[in-house]
Structure 1
Amino acid sequence: MKHEYVASYKSQLFDNNNVISLLSMDQPAVKVFHYKDKEQSSNLLLQLNRLRQDGILTDVSLCSDNTEIACHRNVLVSSSPYFRAMFCNNFLERQQTKINLKGITSAILSSIIDYVYTELISISMESVLSLMQAASMLQYGRLFEACSSFLQEQLSPDNCLSMIRLSEIMNCNSLRDKAKEMAMKSFSDVSASEDLCELSLPELMGYLEDDSLCAEEEQVFETLVAWIHHDPLSRRGAISDLFKKVRLRHIHPTYLFQFIANDPLIQSSTLCTELIESVRRLMFSVSSKCIGDTAVDFKPLWVAPRRYSCHDMLVVIGGRKNNEQTSREALVFDEESEKWQWLAKLPIRLYKASHVALHSVLYVLGGLTTNTKHSQVSTTVYTLSLKTNQWWTAEPMLEPRFAHQSVSYLHFIFVLGGLGADRRLTGSVERYNSMFNQWESMAPMPEAVLHPAVAAANQRIYVFGGEDAMQNPVRLIQVYHIARNMWSKMENRTVKNVSAPAAIMDDKIFIIGGYTRRMIAYDTKANRFIKCANLKERRMHHSATVLNGKLFVTGGRYINGHDVIHDSDNFECYDPKTDTWTSKGTLPYKLFDHGSLTLTHVSQTWAKS
């Protein structure tokens, strides 16, 4: 029988070889096929779990709370460095068949063993902390991070500070980073929580000095005051160190001098009062020379930049829309999406009002009312902040005017010229002091001009060109010395702009177009003009502002090659580093005689309508 079996096997093998030989005849060489069974590992784990449940081949029991869970050593060793060290080294447990695990409840241990054999586990608020502790102890890293991910999903401004504490106890970096990020982004809500008052001084200092903190400086001050009042006896001494973290340059002067300066905590600190007095002298003198005239090292505090969470946004307001009527629209440009969004509408239509930004607030000053039966020249001042997206009225101007110019410097707004109530050209100048909410008359311009380019730099206001009452271009630069309240003027043949905006970048005043394609930059330090790349068309009645180191020009009117005037919806950008123009798309509609300016807002705070 044995010989017959062998003969049969050889015959079958011969036949198989013949088949292989036949398949390979006259056929090209075939690559080796690498087969991977995707279900093998899951099936293997499933079979191992069934063996465990049936008690087959188990060789160790994990014990907790008088409960024994039978397992396979090789599975435990393969799943965790903790068990690999326990069973593969010369520890006592290597010889034991029962291992008592202290500090882990039987329910948690059972869940983890099920996870090892099935890859599945349920995490809830009731079990997550115990699971996290056990996963850390037993060195199940992915389970530990799964618990962290679960806690991250539960994060809110109310509990993020507590989560940071927990992450430090658990030594969980991923949870700590996520909770810290929420605390920074939602500081407005976090600062009102009881948990913030429980922070230590170094922890609070860490938040307040962080550039990425999403908070206005007024709120930074209110937070440190609330923290001190929580335990005044032990914390009052920290006021000066904390107050240095407040970036005074970016606080509204009214709030600084009427509220902060009169706070009892601030008044109790010599250093704090010296800092405020330094700011007061700086603003009143309209000069930067007094920065060093103080006992404290004030300069680093004064030049501290805005926090990274403060973003500049381009806002377009008013103007003639589609050459039909004066617009009440206000638009803001979202750089991330490169789309325009609508803000709250102006309360009334104002023809040729002026527009300026001061302390992250948009001011619309004067103008000719066009939505009444008889148009009137206005003294009204409207204000808007991105935080509230609501219009308010401020202290009105001393004189009604429209087609005038406005410019801000430090805590002042200067309003120059325009057409008065009698529709005649005026050279009068008035100044708004935001610290005292007051207007006052200043020295008038030497020559009244309409539609000049105006900019403020180095304690001076520069007025370039424009036209006189007979609509003749004026080739003149008029300079107002802010501290001395005096004007000077000089003729300059380079100046020939009318209805052109001006903008400042790097100590240079850029004058963009004005019935011409030309753009020139006036170097205020060298007292000379520099020629820049030309515009594509002859532009006028447009507007310009600086955003993130580039010059943005919006709308206006242009003259084509056939000397025909067209309204424009152009949105262009000039890069001074490359001296080039780039199209940024278009405005939502054609627009001219409008305002274009830059407003600062804090992340998470600006109200979209």
Structure 2
Amino acid sequence: MDRPAVEVFHYKDKEQSSNLLLQLNTLRQEKILTDVLLCSDGTEIACHRNVLVSSSPYFRAMFCHNFMERQQTKISLKGITSAILSSIIDYVYTGLISISMDVVLPLMQAASMLQYGRVFEACSSFLQEQLSPDNCLSMIRLSDIMNCDSLRSKAKEMAMESFCDVSASEDLCELSLPDLMGYLEEDGLCAQEEQVFDAVVSWIHHDPLSRKGLISDLFKKVRLRYVHPTYLFQFIASNPLIQSSTLCTELIESVRRLLFSVSTKLLEDTLMDFRRLWVAPRRHTYHDNMVVVGGRKNNEQTSRDTLIFDEKSQEWQRLAKVPVRLYKASYVSLHSVLYVIGGLNAGTECNKVSRTVYTLSLKTNQWRTAEPLLEPRFAHQSVSYLHYIFVLGGFGHDRQLTDRVERYSSMFNQWESMSAMPEAVLYPAVAATNQRIYVFGGEDAMQSPVRVIQVYHIARNMWFKMENRLVKNVSAPAVVMNEKIFIIGGYTRRVMAYDTKANQFSKCANLKERKMHHSATVLSGKIYMTGGRYINSHDVVEDSDTLECYDPKRDAWTVQGNLPYKLFNHGSLTLTCSSQKWGNS
């Protein structure tokens, strides 16, 4: 059979362009058909005008418009060395160029002048590879001189990410006021607010005569809400620069009134004057991390494990182990530090009731001890608010249910007794918001559910309680989100949202099983529930290893994965850290 005729055959020679360039370069080297000499430092480089015109808008304008160079056979290029010019002409004919620290700056200048954009960006890429915290600010100044946006963007990114290192450099002290302000205003600045303050002080001390008067403007850029109170009131407040500024001392006094005032009206007045500064968001480089600690592991033994959830990889990583096995301890976070409080010391023969307080910071991934409780206790509840931790109820050293309340001040590392709860309860749901601690339900000494909401006014150190038939939870966690308190399960599938201002409950999507002894925390605007125990369809209690998530926008629960093992009576907390790196243990 005859093959059908092909009307058109499109042939593309992939080697034609490169071969043509190679031939042109050979002609140049042999000075065949060259029609112009580029001169620098007494050196003449023979070239083809049409090749130069095709390679650069600079030469196109020179040779194709009514400039005098159009008629000249020798063109002198000032400000470019012969070596750099030769290197660029080699690039024009071969597409190859060598960049090193010795030549990158003059090469970049020449590429800019002669309008070889890809060479210019290649120099920028080379400099970006040399970036370090020690030179990134210098690179920013260089990028401004060179008008190189890509280098400036990369160098500023490093300065933001490595601000802790950069702030200790001499280059930071050389920044202009607008440039320093620009960094301090960035949400993406990777530094703790204490370090931001130290950078401000260092910058002023570099030239105190001309800069001292700028302290109040710069101090406003320190986000005081995220400064540890101890550092703020003991170190920042006593700094001579701060004391020299009336506005700075007034700002610190506003924070003091906000944290310590017993007058709600005074708090509102303080917030009105201070709101814009106080509500500044946490910098974006701070990462919220979900940490799971302690509990009963696989229903075999009390766990010493501390796990952290990596949202990107959706995997669990291990942190340093809790120093001892503690059964029915309480877990709470304050100022991005994890506290493990009290519990039964499972390492002793008689399971001694503990008053020890262990702390873990993600920055160091090391456990330390804080001031111990006034009284040993276990199966108690802990909740943090402002710079305080409150410990409520549980069993005391005599193994009797207690109504006693203790308060820990992170500023002074000190515990003190507070007003006792109106009613001693075990395993209630506890949350703190709007100057109050709310204690929902739980059970009494006879293991009967308590249908009561107990409310503690933090500033006034006073309790009151409200009967409520909707409260019937035991061993359920509570979290605060979107100005509501969510009570999750507790021998039930129910999830209730409590509006503290309206004193009203609303129902949310149910859990898949009746859950108890689980834990929950808020992360990225959602509730994450971990582990616990559940009652299956045959009314048998089983342990769980699930990680479930509640989205308030969709009012729906979804399974997000699993814990490394089944776990209950543990802590699930959100800790904030300015780094995603911590030591392995």
With the length of structure 2 as denominator, give the TM-score of the two structures: 0.98
Are 1:551 and 2:527 counterparts? Answer: yes
Residue of structure 2 equivalent to 1:432: 408
Q: Counterpart amino acid of 2:13? A: D
Residue of structure 1 equivalent to 2:275: 299
Residue of structure 2 equivalent to 1:120: 96
Contact 1:454 1:502 in 2 (8 A): yes
Are 1:224 and 2:200 counterparts? Answer: yes
Q: 1:156-171 alignment to 2 at 5 Å?
A: 156-171=132-147
Report the count of equivalent residues. Answer: 585
In structure 1, the residue corresponding to 2:140 is in which secondary structure? Answer: helix
Stretches of 4+ aligned residues off by more than 6 angstroms:
none
Flag the 1:290–1:402 CA change in 2: closer, same or farther, 3 A.
same
Contact 1:507 1:525 in 2 (8 A): no
Query: How far is 1:26 from its partner?
Result: 4.8
Residue of structure 1 equivalent to 2:224: 248
Which of 345, 350, 359 is the equivalent residue of 1:369? 345
Contact 2:543 2:567 in 1 (8 A): yes
Flag the 1:248–1:318 CA change in 2: closer, same or farther, 3 A.
same
Flag the 1:416–1:220 CA change in 2: closer, same or farther, 3 A.
same
Distance, in Å, in 2 between the alignment partners of 1:296 and 1:426 is 40
In structure 2, the residue corresponding to 1:274 is in which secondary structure? Answer: helix
Are 1:421 and 2:397 counterparts? Answer: yes
Q: 1:317-336 alignment to 2 at 5 Å?
A: 317-336=293-312
Which of 112, 116, 121 is the equivalent residue of 1:140? 116
Query: How far is 1:29 from its partner?
Result: 4.2
In structure 1, the residue corresponding to 2:18 is in which secondary structure? Answer: helix
Q: Counterpart amino acid of 2:126? A: F
Distance, in Å, in 2 between the alignment partners of 1:309 and 1:286 is 34
Are 1:456 and 2:398 counterparts? Answer: no
Distance, in Å, in 2 between the alignment partners of 1:120 and 1:27 is 47
Distance, in Å, in 2 between the alignment partners of 1:206 and 1:426 is 54
Q: Counterpart amino acid of 1:226? A: S
Query: How far is 1:455 from its partner?
Result: 0.6
Query: How far is 1:28 from its partner?
Result: 2.9
Residue of structure 2 equivalent to 1:198: 174
Residue of structure 1 equivalent to 2:54: 78
Contact 1:287 1:459 in 2 (8 A): no
Are 1:601 and 2:577 counterparts? Answer: yes
Residue of structure 2 equivalent to 1:313: 289
Are 1:101 and 2:97 counterparts? Answer: no
Are 1:389 and 2:365 counterparts? Answer: yes
Contact 1:286 1:459 in 2 (8 A): no
Residue of structure 2 equivalent to 1:88: 64
Residue of structure 2 equivalent to 1:280: 256
Distance, in Å, in 1 between the alignment partners of 2:580 and 2:184 is 17
Q: Counterpart amino acid of 1:235? A: R
Query: How far is 1:608 from its partner?
Result: 5.0
Are 1:356 and 2:347 counterparts? Answer: no
Query: How far is 1:534 from its partner?
Result: 0.8
Query: How far is 1:473 from its partner?
Result: 1.0
Distance, in Å, in 2 between the alignment partners of 1:592 and 1:360 is 23
Distance, in Å, in 2 between the alignment partners of 1:203 and 1:260 is 23
Query: How far is 1:274 from its partner?
Result: 0.5
Distance, in Å, in 2 between the alignment partners of 1:424 and 1:293 is 44
Which of 152, 156, 165 is the equivalent residue of 1:189? 165
> More deviation in 244-253 or 514-523?
514-523
Which of 118, 124, 127 is the equivalent residue of 1:151? 127
**Post-superposition CA distance 1:73-98 (Å, at most 9, x none):** 00000000000000001111011100
Contact 1:58 1:72 in 2 (8 A): yes
Contact 2:422 2:463 in 1 (8 A): yes
Percent identical among aligned pairs is 80
Contact 1:320 1:593 in 2 (8 A): yes
Flag the 1:291–1:228 CA change in 2: closer, same or farther, 3 A.
farther
Structure 1 unmatched ranges of 5 or more: 1-24
Query: How far is 1:487 from its partner?
Result: 1.0
Contact 1:572 1:583 in 2 (8 A): yes
Distance, in Å, in 1 between the alignment partners of 2:263 and 2:316 is 38
* Alignment root-mean-square deviation, CA: 1.4
Are 1:398 and 2:338 counterparts? Answer: no
Structure 2 unmatched ranges of 5 or more: none
Query: How far is 1:397 from its partner?
Result: 1.1
Contact 1:567 1:590 in 2 (8 A): yes
> More deviation in 472-481 or 179-188?
472-481
Query: How far is 1:288 from its partner?
Result: 6.2
Q: Counterpart amino acid of 2:445? A: A
**Post-superposition CA distance 1:79-138 (Å, at most 9, x none):** 000000000011110111000000000000000000000000100000100100000000
**Post-superposition CA distance 1:200-223 (Å, at most 9, x none):** 111111111110000000000011
Query: How far is 1:27 from its partner?
Result: 4.0
Query: Which one has the largest radius of gyration?
Result: 1
Contact 2:476 2:516 in 1 (8 A): yes
Contact 1:282 1:288 in 2 (8 A): no
In structure 2, the residue corresponding to 1:516 is in which secondary structure? Answer: coil
Are 1:480 and 2:444 counterparts? Answer: no
Distance, in Å, in 1 between the alignment partners of 2:429 and 2:435 is 17
